[in-house]
Amino acid sequence: MRHATLETLEEIEPLLEELRSVPGLVEKRPGIFYRRSKAFLHFHEDPSGLHADVRFAEEFERVRAETDVEREALLARIRAV
């Protein structure tokens, strides 16, 4: 599984824009977000699609983010943290 390419990140720009508006998140590099001083969210892609690794607790949790519905659910979980 590789980190999402810039082309893939361009495809999810609406999601990235929403993430940039979440209080407390800072985008250190394209598609890589920190919360406080810790890595919080980044994206990976593989043949099964796009996934976000999100630190909802101490460890990262992989969350599928291929469809609009999955991206909306991801955003809702992040906003709830």
Average pLDDT over residues 23-52: 96
User: Phi first, then psi: what are they for 2, rounded to 5°?
Assistant: -110, 160
Q: What is the pLDDT of residue 79?
A: 96
**Predicted confidence band of residue 81 (pLDDT cuts 50, 70, 90):** confident
Residues 6 or more apart whose CB falls under 8 angstroms from that of 43 comprise 3, 4, 8, 9, 12, 31, 50, 51, 52, 53, 65
